[in-house]
Amino acid sequence: MKNILIYSDTLASFAYGAYHPYKPERARQFKELAARYGLLYEANQEILEPKPLDEELLYLFHDRDYIDLLKASERGAPTVEMLEAGLGSPDNPIIPGMYEFALLAAGGTLLGAQLLDEDAARFVFNPSGGFHHAGRAHAEGFCYINDIGVTIEHLIRRGRRVAYIDIDVHHGNGVQDAFYDSDRVLTISIHESGVSLYPWSGFENEIGEGAGRGYNVNVPLLPETDDHAYWYAFESVVPPLVTHFAPDIVFAEIGGDLHRDDPLANLNITTEVWCRAVGAINALAPRIMALGGGGYNPHKTAALWALAWAIFCGLTPSDSYAGIVGGMMYGPEAQAGSLHDEPSAAESCALKPARHAHDVVRHIRETVFPLHGIAA
């Protein structure tokens, strides 16, 4: 079974603006790091160029009036209707080519899911995908088109069961809203609490409604949550629910912004627990569609994605260029030769975030687990 990277120089070259925090070039940095560390070009790997999503497929998820506004926004000054739909805001600026960019990124996600559904691959990674904040009728959080919502809706209409695991530091609100009343999608988002971070949602009492009650799970964590508390929360919630749900395909939003070096978030997570979480997802899932999502320290995000790619592909990174003059460098040269964080002195666990993580896990065990027949 193949491991496939969906990659496009066109996507990696797109720019939201010099001062915008979202940098699509992270995908190119990841690809170069993966090559540097001997993680590409294995016999069972393939790099595929995406094609733009067929516009008609957008309407599986998005309202037609919103897509019309999105297309029209590039042709003139913003209107009140566009601004009400989130277009032309600082987060979602109107940029020439943004609609084509969004269609191409979404096409990559759909392509990957189709390959998985056809048993042509076991693992696919689209670093330029994962726009989990876009709503049916609005843009938000740097996201214009929700490639995840479109693709999952396509799969469940084909009778597939899908689990969505979101370890991006921001709550996956667009995906939650899309499938809040469905029992065909198990949505789990582990993120910094909406008390302190956009999109100000994703609390543990948001567990779905109607047929979807118990199929929407949120694990909100306090600022300064460290590796110990994060891993306790992840291990306690994700494996038992996903195993019981038995999905056909797992979508994994692996945003690099949960790392302690990210400038837009406040968790204290290192590469050690990142690798544990990715390894757990890999062990749980028969077929995996991984998506880049967030990450606003481009160098660290590229390194985290390279580590994830290595884990999903069963490889060990090895830097052949460390110490060689002219070798590629991302971030401080002190980290050359390793994608992992430097060893640091052991720190005491932050008590308040640790207690909060335990409280959230207890709430999920008491309210969600019984709905699935899982012992608390």
Would you name the residues annotated as active-site residues?
Answer: 133
Contacts of 283 (CB under 8 A, 6+ apart): none
- Token pair in block for residue 107: 């096409």
Prior bond of 127 cis (ω within 30°): no
Q: How far apart are the first and last CA of the chain?
A: 36
CA distance 367 to 217: 10
**188 Cβ contact partners less than 8 Å away, ≥ 6 residues apart:** 163, 164, 165, 166, 217, 218, 219, 237, 238, 241, 242
Rg over alpha carbons for the chain, rounded to the nearest Å, is 20
Tokens found for residue 74: 């590039």
Place of tokens 């005491």: 348
> In the β-sheet with 185-192, what is the strand arrangement from edge to edge?
45-48, 3-6, 123-126, 288-291, 249-253, 162-166, 185-192, 216-221
**Amino acid identity for residue 371 in this structure:** L
Token digits of residue 155: 């799969």
Distances (CA, A) of 184 to 247, 268, 277, 352: 9, 33, 24, 35
Reduced to 3 states (helix: H, G, I; strand: E, B; else coil), residue 156 is helix
* Total length of the chain: 376
DSSP for 242-296, please give it: HHHH--SEEEEE--GGGBTT-TT---BB-HHHHHHHHHHHHHH-SSEEEE----S
E-strand ranges in the chain read 3-6, 45-48, 123-126, 162-166, 185-192, 216-221, 249-253, 288-291
Instruction: List beta partners, residue 331.
Output: none
